C-alpha cells in the first residue's frame, strides 16, 4: 500500500473521502471490493456500523475531504504498521499453518470441523427420523445451525474450506451442509442480522428433506429426466415444506424460503412461477448457494466444476434464473481463487488455496500437494505467491488455471495434521 494512505477513525469519515481499505476483510461487508468514494451522507453511518477505522486515499478523495487530508499531516506509521509483514494483509487467518515444520490445521479449522460434524450428525438423524415417520426435534436443528452461524461469523474461511473438501460420504448430506454454509456466509456478507442468517441456515440445511419421498432411482439417474420424471422430482419442494412445517419450534419463515428457493427471477421456476421481487431475497440467495454447491461437488450424474466455471454459469443466468444483483454479489463474495480451490501452477504442480490477501487476490497462499507429474508430494509445501517464490528452474510461480473440485483424487485432509 502506498505510503500516503491515511488511517482514519470511522467517526471522522466525511463526504468526498475515498475509502481505500477497511479494518476487516472486504468480503465481510456489503461494500465494493475495489474501494469507493463516499458520495452520500447515508453511506457514512453504514461504514461506521461495520468498521472502527478505515484507510483513505487523499489523492483519490475530492472536495473538502481532499483539502483536509492533504493539509493535515498523516499519522506516522499507522498504515505502514497495519500492513507491515504479509500476515497483516491476509483477509483471514489461514486455515493451515506451520508448526515445527509441519502443516497443521489452524485452531479455527479444528473448531469448524467439530461444528460441521455436529451438523452432519444432526442432519443424518433428521433424515432417519423422517424416513421412519417420527418427529424431528427442532432444538437439535436450531442448535446445529446456531453453531454454524457463530463459526461462520468467527472464521468463515474455515467453514468454506470444509464445505469444499472431497468426501467419501453420501452426496445428499454433503450438498445440504455445503449449501447451508454458502447461504449463511453469503447472508453474512450481505449484512443480514443473525436472526436472518439462522433462518437461511435452517432452510438451506433442510430444503432437500423432501427427496426422501421421491423414487430414489430418479435422484441419481445418469440420463436426462423425462417430462413426467422431472415433474415428480420437482415435487420434492412441496414434500420438504410439509416436513419442515411439521417440525414444531423452527422459524416459520424457513418453510416459506424452502418453498421459494427454486423460483426463478424471470418467472420460469417452480412450484408457483413467482417472478422478480415477489421472491424473498433470502430464498433467492439459498437458490444461488444450492446451485453453486451442486456444481462444485462431484455428483452421481455429473463431474464437478471449478469455482470459476460455476460462478460463470450463475452469472450467465443472472436476470433469468437468478436475481441479477444477488448473482453478481455472490460471485464477488466467493472470490477469484476461493479458499479450498484447487489450482494448477505454471510449473505443472497442483496446489490448494489456503488463504487470500486483501489487495493481491491473484496471489493467494497455497499448499502444493502434487508435483508436475501429478504425483503426491511426500510432504505438503506452503507457498506464498506474494513473496514471488520461484520453482527449481528459477521461474516465478504463477497460477495457470483453477481445477475442478476433487480433481486428481486430492483429499486435502491427507496433507495436514
pLDDT tens, position by position, 200-214: 999 999 999 999 999
DSSP for 291-337, written as a single string: HHHHHHS-BTTBPPPPHHHHHHHHHHTBTTTB-HHHHHHHHHHH-SS
Edge-to-edge strand list for the sheet holding 53-56: 6-9, 53-56, 18-22, 36-37
Question: Whole-prediction pTM value?
Answer: 0.76
Name, in order, each residue with C-beta under 8 angstroms of 395's C-beta and a sequence gap of 6 or more: 346, 347
φ/ψ region of 269 (left if φ > 0, alpha if ψ in -120 to 50, else beta) reads beta
266 and 190 inside one domain: yes
Least reliable range by pLDDT among 48-57, 77-86, 141-150:
77-86
Residue 91 lies in a domain: no
CA 197 to CA 189: how far, in whole Å?
10
148 and 290 inside one domain: yes
**What's the rounded mean pLDDT across residues 270-291?**
97
Mean pLDDT of the chain: 85
Structural domain span for residue 399: 342-415
Helix (H) or strand (E) holding 63: helix 63-71
For residue 102, is pLDDT > 80? Answer: no
Long-range contacts of 391-396 (CB under 8 A, 24+ apart): 391/345, 391/347, 391/349, 395/346, 395/347
CA 402 to CA 289: how far, in whole Å?
20
321 and 353 inside one domain: no
240 and 379 inside one domain: no
114 and 187 inside one domain: yes
pLDDT of residue 92: 64
161 and 187 inside one domain: yes
141 and 286 inside one domain: yes
pLDDT of residue 9: 85
Residue 94 lies in a domain: no
pLDDT of residue 85: 43
pLDDT of residue 399: 95
Last residue of one domain, picked from the residues 314, 334, 354: 334
Residue 99 lies in a domain: no
Least reliable range by pLDDT among 94-98, 124-128, 172-176:
94-98
When divided into structural domains, the chain yields a total of: 3
264 and 376 inside one domain: no
Omega within 30 of 0 (cis) for the link into 271: yes
C-alpha cell at 54: 478505515
CA 241 to CA 291: how far, in whole Å?
19
Residue 36 lies in a domain: yes
325 and 347 inside one domain: no
194 and 287 inside one domain: yes
Name, in order, each residue with C-beta under 8 angstroms of 159's C-beta and a sequence gap of 6 or more: 112, 115, 116, 148, 151, 152, 181, 185
pLDDT band at 166 (very low <50, low <70, confident <90, very high): low
234 and 314 inside one domain: yes
pLDDT tens, position by position, 221-269: 777 889 999 999 999 999 999 999 999 999 999 999 999 999 999 999 9
pLDDT of residue 1: 44
pLDDT of residue 119: 95
For residue 405, is pLDDT > 90? Answer: no
DSSP for 246-294, written as a single string: TSTTS-HHHHHHHHHTT--TTS--SSS---GGGS-HHHHHHHHHHHHHH
Where residue 259 sits, what CATH number does that domain have?
Answer: 1.10.3210.10
Residue 1 lies in a domain: no
DSSP conformational letter for 217: H
245 and 109 inside one domain: yes
pLDDT band at 188 (very low <50, low <70, confident <90, very high): very high
**What's the rounded mean pLDDT across residues 55-80?**
64
pLDDT tens, position by position, 288-338: 999 999 999 877 667 789 998 999 999 999 999 999 999 999 988 888 889
**What's the rounded mean pLDDT across residues 134-149?**
96
Residue 80 lies in a domain: yes
Amino acid at each position: 500500500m502506498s505510503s500516503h494512505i491515511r488511517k482514519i477513525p470511522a467517526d471522522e469519515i466525511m463526504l468526498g473521502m475515498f475509502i481505500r481499505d477497511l479494518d476487516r476483510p472486504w468480503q465481510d461487508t456489503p461494500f465494493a471490493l475495489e474501494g469507493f468514494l463516499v458520495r452520500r451522507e447515508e453511506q457514512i453511518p453504514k461504514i461506521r456500523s461495520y468498521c472502527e477505522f478505515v484507510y483513505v486515499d487523499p489523492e483519490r478523495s475530492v472536495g473538502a475531504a481532499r483539502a483536509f487530508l492533504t493539509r493535515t499531516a498523516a499519522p506516522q506509521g499507522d498504515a505502514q504498521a497495519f500492513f507491515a509483514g504479509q500476515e497483516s494483509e491476509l483477509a483471514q487467518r489461514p486455515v493451515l499453518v506451520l508448526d515445527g515444520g509441519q502443516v497443521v490445521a489452524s485452531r479455527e479449522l479444528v473448531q469448524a470441523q467439530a461444528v460441521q460434524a455436529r451438523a452432519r450428525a444432526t442432519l443424518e438423524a433428521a433424515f432417519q427420523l423422517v424416513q421412519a415417520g417420527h418427529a424431528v426435534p427442532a432444538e437439535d436443528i436450531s442448535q446445529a445451525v446456531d453453531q454454524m452461524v457463530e463459526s461462520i461469523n468467527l472464521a468463515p474461511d474455515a467453514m468454506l474450506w470444509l464445505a469444499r473438501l472431497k468426501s467419501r460420504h453420501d452426496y445428499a448430506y454433503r450438498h445440504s451442509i455445503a449449501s447451508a454454509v454458502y447461504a449463511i456466509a453469503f447472508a453474512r456478507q450481505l449484512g443480514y442480522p443473525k436472526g436472518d442468517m439462522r433462518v437461511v441456515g435452517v432452510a438451506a440445511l433442510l430444503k432437500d428433506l423432501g427427496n426422501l419421498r421421491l423414487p430414489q432411482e430418479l435422484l441419481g439417474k445418469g440420463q436426462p429426466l423425462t417430462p413426467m420424471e422431472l415433474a415428480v422430482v420437482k415435487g420434492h419442494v412441496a414434500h420438504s415444506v410439509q416436513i419442515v412445517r411439521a417440525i414444531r419450534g423452527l422459524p416459520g419463515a424457513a418453510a416459506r424460503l424452502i418453498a421459494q428457493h427454486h423460483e426463478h427471477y424471470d418467472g420460469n421456476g417452480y412450484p408457483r412461477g413467482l417472478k422478480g421481487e415477489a421472491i424473498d431475497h433470502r430464498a433467492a440467495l439459498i437458490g444461488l448457494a444450492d446451485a453453486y454447491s451442486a456444481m462444485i461437488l462431484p455428483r452421481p450424474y455429473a463431474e464437478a466444476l471449478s469455482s470459476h466455471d460455476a460462478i460463470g454459469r450463475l452469472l450467465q443466468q443472472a436476470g433469468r434464473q437468478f436475481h441479477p444483483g444477488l448473482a453478481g454479489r455472490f460471485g464477488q463474495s466467493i472470490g477469484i481463487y476461493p479458499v479450498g480451490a484447487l489450482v494448477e501452477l505454471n510449473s505443472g504442480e497442483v496446489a490448494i488455496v489456503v488463504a487470500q490477501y486483501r489487495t493481491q487476490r491473484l496471489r493467494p497462499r497455497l499448499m502444493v500437494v502434487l508435483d508436475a507429474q501429478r504425483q503426491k508430494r511426500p510432504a505438503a509445501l506452503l507457498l506464498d505467491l506474494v513473496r514471488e517464490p520461484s520453482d527449481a528452474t528459477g521461474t516465478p510461480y504463477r497460477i495457470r488455471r483453477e481445477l475442478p473440485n476433487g480433481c486428481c483424487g486430492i483429499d486435502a485432509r491427507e496433507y495436514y495434521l
